[in-house]
Amino acid sequence: MFDLSGMTALVTGASGGIGSAIARSLASQGARLALSGSNSAKLRAFREELNADYGHDHVEITCDLSNATQVEELVPAAVDTLGKLDILVNNAGITRDNLAMRMKDEEWDAVIRINLEAAFRLMRAASKPMMKARFGRIVTITSVVGATGNPGQVNYAAAKGGLVAMSKSLGQELASRNITVNCVAPGFIRTAMTEVLPDAQKEALNARIPMGRMGEGEDIGAAVAFLASKEAGYITGQTLHVNGGMAMIS
């Protein structure tokens, strides 16, 4: 695919369904990873699996993205462990779905804090070593609902839409230093959560997708690997939609 040999990456939410697929895609192309998540046992097991499959001596860094202090410490810890930071992948996120009229303040706050604010803090921190190195790739996982909206997800859609606008702004700020800032927006992706849905609900979801099926985590991993590569050096401030044609957004 794209050669990432000699490059280092920090991936948040790395042990989840999409996060682990992203990590595998980057590792398979030669990158050395700092895997971040809140479940230390799950993270450690995935790191050992990744090391066995791809080598490169990957590391794990536990971080609670709802804790601002831990978030501020994450990038410096990754740089200290890896020696440098070439790629930041903001993948971690949560949902707290509810209709707007019933949404509690804490449901709004939790989603904005983890999905939007933590990503900003990590982007800000990563910008410093990347600017010094005059090279960097920042890739943030958004969502199709950040562009289309979705009933019951005003908090999630607001956060995902905010990530796109934030990436465009930061992309303009960092472009002169050879740092690109882009987003990947998944549609319906087959994960452990979607696998437990009733067959009728899966069929209804698939009917909304021109390709007739959900995407795979590997589809998102491939998109991230491309945007993280040197070959994508003239692409910044863009959102790559990976949704099987469900929403054809220009």
Catalytic residue status for 156? yes
Query: Which residues are paired to 239 by β-bridges?
Result: 183
User: Which tokens sit at 240?
Assistant: 């790559």
> Residue 170, SS3?
helix
Describe the crossing of helices 154-174 and 118-133 by its angle, rounded to 10 degrees.
Answer: 20
Q: How far apart are CA 195 and CA 190, in angstroms?
A: 7
Q: Which residue's structure tokens are 């991230």?
A: 224
Nearest to 23 by CA among 15, 140, 207, 111: 15
Catalytic residue, chosen from 46, 135, 156, 188, is 156
Q: How far apart are CA 227 and CA 174, in angstroms?
A: 15
> Residue 242, SS3?
strand
Instruction: Give the amino acid at 103.
Output: M
Q: Rg of the chain over CA atoms, in angstroms?
A: 17
Cα separation values, 171 from 93, 175, 223, Å: 21, 6, 18
Q: Which residues are catalytic?
A: 156
